[in-house]
Amino acid sequence: MTDVKYVFVTGGVTSSLGKGIISASLAKLLQARGYSVTIQKLDPYINVDPGTLNPYEHGECYVTLDGAETDLDLGHYERFLNVPTSQANNVTTGRIYQSVINKERKGDYLGKTVQVIPHITDEIKRRIKLVGSGDKFDIVITEIGGTVGDIESLPYIESVRQLKWELGTQNCIVIHLTLVPYLSSTGESKTKPTQHSVKELLETGIQPDLLVLRTERHLNTDIKRKVALFCNVEENAVIESVDVSTIYEVPIKMLEQGLDKTVLRKMGLPVEIEPPLTEWREFLSKLKNPKHNIKVGLVGKYVELPDAYKSIAESFIHSGAMNECQVDVVYIHSEEITENNVVERLKGLNGILVAPGFGSRGIDGKILTAKYARENNIPFFGICLGMQCAVIEFARDVLNLEGAHSTEINHKTKYPVIDLMEEQKSIIDKGGTMRLGGYKCVINKNSKTFDAYQKTEIVERHRHRYEFNNKYYDDFKNHGMIPVGINPESGLVEIIEIPEHKWFVGVQFHPEYSSTVINPHPLFVSFVKACIG
Ligand code: GLN
């Protein structure tokens, strides 16, 4: 075992306290101090990965470059750190059990009774250490999904306890995130839920090293001291995480309170230079002082839950800041758009993005939206299903292919302009079987896409089963919808454009997964610029 340091982030009192953002912020600060850091998420559900989950369950499914379908927190990790994550960065209970059961079937346990302790916990520890192996990282931050006290997360918590014992307290520290609610009737911030939550953690054998208290209002020194005393942690190891206007401010707030310093000190690592975070601060200053303001319609079918489009929303924040522009994303339900109200619903927008998705619900609204944007010369960005809808609309209204469709929606269509990829035809299983992860694309120099990327070869992440049907390639090209990006190995169309239009780009891949604070995605930057006009 090398001397990789492990930091665990647990949560108590309620879910949704922002463990992912705290983990990403700490990682950012440690990275800025010169450490190589990665973040892993352990999810307590039994799905092998979130790929089969409806976005209403836990929000968007994030896709890594190596083709893993993962929890959306990995998106935050990449956006903060600007370093790609991989399959190993997201582990679910389902995946743990799957490998233990596979080993059992192979006879690897030699007649033993297979149990949660030690077999499941051993597998969890193996997965945690796997991320730290190979000398790539100095520090591994592992975020444990769920809330302490849940039955589901117990094996993870027990694994952390064992690791602390095995690796020693200097190599393994625990940050516990809780909520300090404010009672307006008495005008007080209450620490009791935190005390109980720490007690719950203590019952599992873990004394947290640091506490991060999520709160609506600033906590005074007395409250922090009280928490420190009752929860048995140092005073400077009690950090408040007060609500801020943007998640990207959290690293600065953590830096101000020395979260990174306390962590390093506890791990016996040097605490030297204060990281200046220059680029980060510049980004924040642009974000907070916009010179322009635009309204972009995001047309999708999961709009009731904005987390379903997390990476798209964040990409607009990055690209907006780069353009010194505040991008107001207006979420529009594709199911509610009809021929009669499309003008009413979409008027006044500076640009329109049609979102990715699966299945037929809301598809007509997306097709109508693409038509509206095309005919009214409104900047249009179609992502995955969004691009497919633009292709369908163009086939019907410009190529006069009546009833043209994607075979995903109508497998009997006379004009299958979007069709199942050849290699997908024999696949029956749903989990992990799409075209996933990074694929190459060669860009035509004479295109808006090239202007955006300033290069002809790119790699972008995919998550789909259907594709542009090359049988119609010439027909589209001759009528003004040009395939400008092609996969060099398979010939699959990856990008279409309408050069006549102000900005009309459809991409089969997901640019939103690779936009980061430091490197906003070029297509989003270019789209926002076009919307500013
Ligand atoms: N449902 C479409 C396909 O599978 C688009 C997928 C997506 O938008 N991610 O090809």
CA of 388 from ligand 1 middle (Å) equals 8
What number is the average pLDDT over the span 74-95?
A: 96
Query: For residue 1, what pLDDT is reported?
Result: 43
Q: Is the CB of 357 under 6 A from ligand 1?
A: yes
What is the reported pLDDT for 471?
A: 96
- Residue pair 42/199 in contact (Cβ under 8 Å)? The answer is no
Locate 144 and state its tokens.
Answer: 């444990």
pLDDT of residue 306: 86
| C-beta of residue 529 within 8 angstroms of C-beta of residue 351 | no
Nearest CA to ligand 1 atom 3: 464
Atom of ligand 1 nearest to the CA of 384: 8
Indicate if ligand 1 lies below 6 Å from the C-beta of 386: no
The answer to whether 19 and 8 are in contact (CB under 8 A) is no
Q: Report which of residues 444 and 273 the model is more confident about.
A: 444
Residue 442: pLDDT band with limits 50, 70, 90: very high
Both tokens of 264, joined, read 């390093």
Which band of pLDDT confidence, cut at 50, 70 and 90, is reported for residue 131? very high
Distance 348 CA to ligand 1 centre (A): 28
Kindly indicate the confidence band of residue 4, based on its pLDDT and cuts at 50, 70 and 90: very high
Query: What average pLDDT does this structure show over 29-42?
Result: 96
**Residue of 430 and 531 predicted with greater confidence:** 531
* pLDDT range class, residue 272, cuts 50, 70, 90: confident
Contact predicate 21/79, CB 8 Å: no
Q: 381 is written with which tokens?
A: 């960005």
Determine the distance separating the centroid of ligand 1 and the alpha carbon of 128, expressed in angstroms: 32
CA angle 336, 495, 367 (to 5 degrees): 20
Atom of ligand 1 lying closest to residue 418 CA? 10
Task: Compute, in angstroms, the gap from residue 203 CA to the centroid of ligand 1.
Answer: 46
Closest residue CA from atom 6 of ligand 1: 464
Residue 425 pLDDT = 81
SS3 state of residue 73: helix
Signed CA dihedral, 103, 104, 108, 113: sign only: positive
How many whole angstroms from 467 Cα to the centroid of ligand 1? 8
| Mutation pick for ligand 1 pocket among 299, 311, 358, 509 (CB with most ligand atoms within 8 Å) | 358
Chain centroid to Cα 165, Å, comes to 33
The answer to whether 85 touches 39, Cβ cutoff 8 Å, is yes
Alpha carbons 332 and 330: distance in angstroms, whole number: 6
Residue 201 pLDDT > 50, yes or no?
yes
Query: For ligand 1, is residue 384 a contact (CB within 6 Å)?
Result: yes
In this prediction, what percent of the chain has a pLDDT beyond 70?
Answer: 100
pLDDT over threshold 70, residue 2: no
Among 353, 463, 492, 510, the mutation site with the greatest number of ligand 1 atoms within 8 A of its Cβ is: 463
Q: Which atom of ligand 1 is nearest to the CA of 386?
A: 8
How confident is the model at residue 424, as a pLDDT? 81
- As a whole number, mean pLDDT of residues 335-357 equals 97
Say whether pLDDT at 169 is over 80. Answer: yes
Residue for token pair 């998420």: 41
> What is the atom index within ligand 1 of the atom nearest the CA of 467?
10
CB distance 55 to 308 below 8 Å: yes
Confidence at residue 428, expressed as pLDDT on a 0 to 100 scale: 81
pLDDT score recorded for residue 3: 85
Our CA angle for 226, 229, 230, nearest 5°, is: 85
Mutate to test the pocket of ligand 1, among 466, 469, 494 (most ligand atoms within 8 A of CB): 466
Which amino acid is present at 303? V
140 with 131: CB under 8 angstroms?
A: yes
The per-residue pLDDT of the chain, averaged, comes to: 95
Confidence band for 244, pLDDT divided at 50, 70 and 90? very high
For the entire predicted model, the pTM comes to 0.95
Q: Determine the residue type at 230.
A: F
* Cα–Cα distance, 100 to 109 (Å, whole number): 9
Distance between CA atoms of residues 85 and 135, nearest Å: 16
Report whether 409 contacts 396 (CB < 8 A). no
- How long a stretch of residues is the chain? 533
Catalytic residue positions, numbered: 384, 510, 512
Which of 26 and 272 is assigned the larger pLDDT? Answer: 26
For residues 385-391, average pLDDT: 98
The DSSP H or E segment spanning 69 is strand 69-70
Alpha helices in 289-429 (DSSP H): 310-322, 342-346, 363-375, 385-397
> Is 524 in contact with 394 (CB distance < 8 Å)?
no
Core vs surface per residue 456-492: b (16+ CB within 10 A) or e: eebebbbbbbbbbbeebeebbeeeebbbbbbbeebeb
Would the pLDDT of 144 be above 50? yes
If you average pLDDT over residues 216-235, what whole number do you get?
Answer: 96
Q: Which residue has the higher pLDDT, 250 or 54?
A: 250
Return the H-helix or E-strand segment holding 70.
strand 69-70
Would you state the structure tokens that stand for residue 26, as one six-digit string? 């700490």
Per the model's pLDDT, the better-predicted residue between 272 and 225 turns out to be 225
Please identify, by atom number, the ligand 1 atom nearest to the C-alpha of residue 408. Answer: 1
Residue 462: CB within 6 Å of ligand 1?
no
Token pair for 531: 């919307």
| pLDDT class of 12 with cuts at 50, 70, 90 | very high
Q: How confident is the model at residue 421 (pLDDT cuts 50, 70, 90)?
A: confident
Instruction: Fill in the DSSP letter of residue 361.
Output: T
Dihedral of CA 452/456/462/464: which sign? positive
